[in-house]
Amino acid sequence: MKHTTINQDRFIRWFAAAAAYFVCLIAAYIDFGQDMGAKYFMPILIPIIAALVLIQYGTRVSIFSKAALPNLVTGTAWCITFPLLYQWTYHSVWYQSKICFDFVVGTAGFILLMALEGALFRLGHEKLTAAFMSVLNFLGLVIPFIQVTYYCLFWHCLSPASLMALYLTNYRESIDFIQSNLGLLPTLLIFAGFALFLYGCYHCHREFFRRTLAEDTTAGRMGALSLLTVAMIAAEGWYLPQTSVADLWNDVISYVNQTQEYSIGHDERLESLMIDKNMTLPTKLPGTVIVVIGESASRNYMKAFTPSFPYDDTPWLSGKFASDSANFLKFDNVYSSWSQTVPVLQRALTEQSQYNGKEFFDSASIVDVAKKAGYETWWFSNQGRYGQYDSAITLVAKTADHAEWTDDSYNFSDKYDEALLQYLSQVDPSKNNFIVLHIMGSHIYYNNRYPSEFNKFETAEGDSTVSSVQSYANSILYTDYILSQIFDYAQKNLNLQAMVYFSDHGENIEISHNPDVFSFDMVRIPMWTYLSPSYQQVMPGHTNALRMHQSRYFTNDMLYDMICGLLNAPSARYNPEQDFASFSYSFHRSNLTTMLGQHPLLEDPNGTEEK
């Protein structure tokens, strides 16, 4: 009878400790602003509390006792470190699912260490096991420790860019880095700290031994420890690759692999690109050519392309079309080849198109062509640099003679596009320059894309500014201003001969540009060119072809060939039938497609007879 009461008391204590662990961590996440949400923590509530009760039953060690402290610290470090440092760096929310994975991985790690320790101590070898467990705690803390150290050095959490830098750093550079950033004495202090930590752990683990061995081994206890060990290893195997840190790591690895694949063939491709320099634009007409890649701009919501659109969001461009139509050519029927950035741009920037079946990794790019034609090449981007959303574009960008990003940190830049303007002052006006500018344009959320001076069109009361038509129009208005600044600077300072603006894809203001819910405004894009009077004199053929094609239909995956045409740089890697700046251009509304061939342009309900 007495025995049963003791067991009941114990069970209540274990249960209370398990519940306290769960509630404290959930409360901590909420408190520092990274709430994982009930949707994620409710399904794991019962399994985690059950496992925490079971581990106390199996080891006879309370999870909040000194004996469990090293394992508790190791586990919770994994739960907390990334979400907390992310919050401190960005002051914005991280993915709820990722927070949940971090929580599960940290907690499972904690339980696994406890189960392992309980089982090992049953085999004897007190000191050896205590030392072994201390080393495991140390190793388990290496990754959280690197994150915290990085944060303390730069006041910034690890990002794909910084992890890339760490990944590419060799042993010698690491030593240099530690010496220059820390100095000898602090380094020694850190090592002394490690030793002290190991000693502390060792001391706690011996306490664990005494508690566990205070009661006899039973089949039930050993069964619980074995079960938990197997279950927690399975949980780690499944969730560890999905944690925040593993995600960063995967981004870096996939980038490095893709770079290798693209780069292996790059020299060969460049070699095989034979362009007769005597014929090219820079030889005949020195100066600068600029390509601006827009983001999520749909011509449906731009006054210059759709006069019935109620907001005057393109004052500069509309003015140029009206007063300078000899030099500014507007193209009315241009579409993107897909509704998301990377698949579109990997085609627009290279030979690959919907129509030729070429592979990205075998294709020359506009940067290659510009180089071979005789230009110094520049790439300035206000978009992200690493990760699955950027890699292909970055690969092309990095082949330029000069490539810079305004923001190295995350997938999306939070800087306004004006951050790009300063880079133009680096360009040497006495040289022949080919400049690509990749802007953030009208990427969701629209209200984050422009400074307050451009908040001209006000969102109706009660609507969200995040995704309103008015906010979208403001972002287009801001892009109009940015384009005017680029044009004015280049015309005044860089001997501008040609400029091309096109958007990667369009936008549906209600549902953004998700290919799963396709609508045609997601692919109706703006495109225009500026050709200087001297250009028009030197290249009358390309000028007239473009002028003749202003109402013709075109998809932006053929932009590569159009650039080859503009630069008068034909080669074996050029197809004049895809060149919008050539009279050989042979595509029509009837044989063009979008969404990588899924939708013929004939399906567009707004489409009109081709002139």
Residues at the site binding Zn ion, with contacts judged by CB under 5 A: 295, 341, 504
Query: At 118, which amino acid appears?
Result: G
Q: Which is nearer to Zn ion, 63 or 439 (CB)?
A: 439
- In the complex, least distance from residue 403 CB atom to Zn ion, rounded to whole angstroms: 19
Q: Which is nearer to Zn ion, 181 or 514 (CB)?
A: 514
- In the complex, least distance from residue 366 CB atom to Zn ion, rounded to whole angstroms: 18
- In the complex, least distance from residue 24 CB atom to Zn ion, rounded to whole angstroms: 42
For the chain, the residue count is 611
Q: Which is nearer to Zn ion, 90 or 412 (CB)?
A: 412
Burial 571-591 (b: 16+ CB within 10 A, else e): bebbbbebbbbbeebebebee
Q: Which residue is nearest to Zn ion (CB)?
A: 341
Determine contact, residues 20/194, Cβ cutoff 8 Å. Answer: no
- In the complex, least distance from residue 344 CB atom to Zn ion, rounded to whole angstroms: 7
Dihedral angle sign, alpha carbons of residues 293, 294, 295, 299: negative
Q: Which is nearer to Zn ion, 101 or 338 (CB)?
A: 338
Strands 496-503 and 433-438: unpaired
Helix (H) or strand (E) holding 137, with range, is helix 126-140
Q: Say if residue 445 is preceded by a cis peptide, omega within 30 of 0.
A: yes
Determine the Cα–Cα distance for residues 83 and 31; give it in Å rounded to an integer. 12
Sequence-ordered list of residues with C-beta below 8 angstroms from that of 225, at least 6 positions apart, any chain: 55, 58, 59, 115, 118, 119
In 3D space, the residue among 255, 310, 228, 269 whose CA is nearest the CA of residue 48 turns out to be 228
Phi, psi of 584 (to 5 degrees): -80, -5
- In the complex, least distance from residue 450 CB atom to Zn ion, rounded to whole angstroms: 17
- Token pair 């085999």 in the structure block, residue: 123
Determine the Cα–Cα distance for residues 299 and 503; give it in Å rounded to an integer. 9
- In the complex, least distance from residue 339 CB atom to Zn ion, rounded to whole angstroms: 8
Q: Which is nearer to Zn ion, 465 or 512 (CB)?
A: 512
- In the complex, least distance from residue 526 CB atom to Zn ion, rounded to whole angstroms: 13
Q: Which is nearer to Zn ion, 314 or 341 (CB)?
A: 341
Determine the Cα–Cα distance for residues 60 and 209; give it in Å rounded to an integer. 10
- In the complex, least distance from residue 383 CB atom to Zn ion, rounded to whole angstroms: 8
Helix (H) or strand (E) holding 288, with range, is strand 288-294
Q: Which is nearer to Zn ion, 376 or 504 (CB)?
A: 504
- In the complex, least distance from residue 505 CB atom to Zn ion, rounded to whole angstroms: 5
Helix (H) or strand (E) holding 194, with range, is helix 184-213
Q: Which is nearer to Zn ion, 92 or 514 (CB)?
A: 514
Determine the Cα–Cα distance for residues 211 and 47; give it in Å rounded to an integer. 25
40: number of Cβ within 10 Å: 19
Q: Which is nearer to Zn ion, 333 or 503 (CB)?
A: 503
> How far is residue 411 from each of residues 161, 309, 391, 508, measured CA to CA in Å?
10, 32, 11, 22
Determine the Cα–Cα distance for residues 45 and 57; give it in Å rounded to an integer. 19
> How far is residue 56 from each of residues 209, 471, 589, measured CA to CA in Å?
14, 56, 71
- In the complex, least distance from residue 556 CB atom to Zn ion, rounded to whole angstroms: 12
- In the complex, least distance from residue 309 CB atom to Zn ion, rounded to whole angstroms: 20
Q: Which is nearer to Zn ion, 18 or 522 (CB)?
A: 522
Determine the Cα–Cα distance for residues 138 and 143; give it in Å rounded to an integer. 10
Tokens representing 486? Answer: 């680029």
Q: Which is nearer to Zn ion, 341 or 352 (CB)?
A: 341
